[in-house]
Amino acid sequence: MTDAPAPTPSRAFVSLIGAGPGDPGLLTLRGQHALQHADVVLFDYLANPELLRWCPDARTIYVGKKGFSEYISQEQINALIVQVAQENGGQRVARLKGGDVFVFGRGGEEAEACVLAGVPFEIVPGVTSAIAAPAYAGIPVTHRDVARSFAVLTGNTREGGAQYERLSGVDTLLLLMGVRNLDTIAAELVAAGRDPQTPAATVQWGSTHQQRVATGTLETIGQVVREAGLEAPAVTVVGEVVKLRDTLRWFDNTPAFGGPLRGRTVAVTRTRDGSSALSEVLRARGADVLEVPLIRFGPAPDGGAAALEALRDFTGWLLLTSNQAVAALFSLLDAAGRDARALAGVRIAAVGPSTARSLAERGVRADFVPSTPGARHLGAELPAGRGEAALHLTSQLAEDELQRGLEARGIGYARAGLYRTEAAAPTLNALERLKNAAVITLASGSAARHLAALASADFDPLHMPVAAMGPQTADAAREAGFTRVTVAGTASLDALADAAERAVGGAA
Ligand code: SAH
């Protein structure tokens, strides 16, 4: 007798996640975890799309509602969440919502839809813009002696005056969604008994590099905001705490906040593994980073057999020209049941300090690093004599420059494939956002070629400003047809960020 197979339990699960107010660092760890395990992500226009980098392989669905022009109704969103969760034998859905899930986010309705459909769910609270936007403007919602209570209200409501009278004992008022009705709301607050001289501030796009703040009093705030051109999304703070901005202002008066990359989208096109360090440098300069990995690494077609064979009994110079080569070499050795001792008989040259660091992290010191990073300098400076042998373990895409340089000096050059570089197709979503990038960074010739290959009738990367990691990458970019290439002075992340700044400034 055989047992009937047990029914497979459905994977259907919905995480309602508060994405925070905008700064991608304000996502919670639990929110990040849920994104990393999601099959499908539904996000809206207040959830920073940068957060999608935690779920590169998930299907993403934009369900944006912006202001009053709703693309998709709340009922449709509720239905969609349930439907997607139940598709394909059950999927993990991450529903990313701006700020906190339950603060005017209609998260309650989405959770109810899950309950009705019998789909299990979790709530991942987020940092609400009601508190965070003022905080990033240097305004605490409470402060001993100044304000001991606050209320969060919507400026959309028709209730108006009545609700304001009820709130007369509350020290700080936080108005969401009210930026268009500020004049009316302010007048009603005064009619309900608030002093027209009460300080007020409106914070647009709080915690992002587009943050803008206008300050006034209940009497003036409507006009001040109109003159400054502030629009949704914005939080308006009414109360004595607003004065604290004079002393507590911190986020929007730092040098990075005023730099040329501030609020500009910079696309980072390296592989996901290699990109985060550059992204951090760019973010620190105020850029909104769009990570679009254009290349990914895979095993060499022969699984690295030729590389292992070439290493056997080799005693010359081993040339490693990327972090990826170092990583691939060590995983190859590991898979073969070996370790760094397999390199005992060779001398090792690293193409630059970053590759040397990768080696050092694995307990191996590079015997040689050229004075300037790059294949050209490695070829010219490698301290090898005529007749000595060099073995270059690299990808199938290695350019010939190193080989030519060494052979011109009478050094024997051999190459074996250690890993494979292949094109990674960006998601449609990423591609759509790439079109609006102010500048695209290119860290290698292959990234340049893959990007050029994406050109189509409605995407023209070749005429967008690009910042290239070094002269070789710049040459490759020009060869691939890019017309607005800015070159980094040295092969460092800071120099690449400098080049991005220059590119954005228009000086190619
Ligand atoms: N659940 C969200 C609020 C959604 S209602 C939260 O907890 O933050 C949408 C309103 O939120 C906007 O109209 C605006 O008033 C406010 N808002 C959201 N993000 C904001 C931001 N980064 N800066 C200022 N206001 C923001």
Segment 135-152, tens digit of pLDDT? 999 999 999 989 999 999
Q: Spelled out in words, what is the top-level CATH class assigned to the domain 131-253? A: alpha beta
pLDDT at 508: 39
pLDDT of 38 strictly over 90? yes
How far is 484 from 461, CA to CA, in rounded Å? 10
Assigned superfamily of 13-126 = Tetrapyrrole methylase, N-terminal domain (3.40.1010.10)
Angle ∠(164,167,171) on CA atoms, nearest 5: 120
Which range is most confident: 8-12, 124-128, 166-170? Answer: 124-128
Q: Compute, in angstroms, the gap from residue 59 CA to the centroid of ligand 1.
A: 25
Segment 48-70, tens digit of pLDDT? 888 988 887 899 888 875 544 45
**Of all atoms in ligand 1, which is nearest to the CA of residue 175?**
15
What does the pLDDT average to over 432-448?
Answer: 89
Q: Which residue has the higher pLDDT, 71 or 291?
A: 291
How far is 483 from 141, CA to CA, in rounded Å? 50
Query: Is 65 labeled as catalytic in the residue annotation?
Result: yes
Q: Which residue has the higher pLDDT, 39 or 433?
A: 39
Q: Is 128 in the pocket of ligand 1 (CB under 6 A)?
A: yes
Q: Compute, in angstroms, the gap from residue 114 CA to the centroid of ligand 1.
A: 24
How far is 95 from 429, CA to CA, in rounded Å? 16
What does the pLDDT average to over 322-330?
Answer: 92
Tokens standing for residue 24:
């991608």
pLDDT at 159: 61
What is the residue with the minimal CA distance to atom 11 of ligand 1?
176
Q: Is 274 in the pocket of ligand 1 (CB under 6 A)?
A: no
Question: What kind of architecture, by CATH, is found in domain 255-508?
Answer: 3-Layer(aba) Sandwich (3.40)
According to DSSP, the β-strands at 69-70 and 92-97 are unpaired
pLDDT at 5: 67
Query: Is 44 labeled as catalytic in the residue annotation?
Result: yes
pLDDT of 272 strictly over 60? no
Q: Compute, in angstroms, the gap from residue 255 CA to the centroid of ligand 1.
A: 26
Query: Within a 13 Å sphere around the CA of 338, how many CA atoms are in the beta-carbon half?
Result: 13
Share of the chain above pLDDT 90, in %: 65
How far is 371 from 377, CA to CA, in rounded Å? 7
- Closest alpha carbon to 404 in 376, 426, 425, 384: 376
What does the pLDDT average to over 425-441?
Answer: 85
What is the residue with the minimal CA distance to atom 6 of ligand 1?
99
What does the pLDDT average to over 160-188?
Answer: 89
Q: Is 129 in the pocket of ligand 1 (CB under 6 A)?
A: yes
- pTM of the model as a whole: 0.69
Exposed/middle/buried for residue 307 (C-beta within 10 Å: 0-12, 13-18, 19+): buried
- State which amino acid sits at residue 480: A
Domain assignments of the chain as residue spans, ordered by start: 13-126, 131-253, 255-508
pLDDT of 269 strictly over 70? yes
Q: Is 45 in the pocket of ligand 1 (CB under 6 A)?
A: no
pLDDT at 503: 92
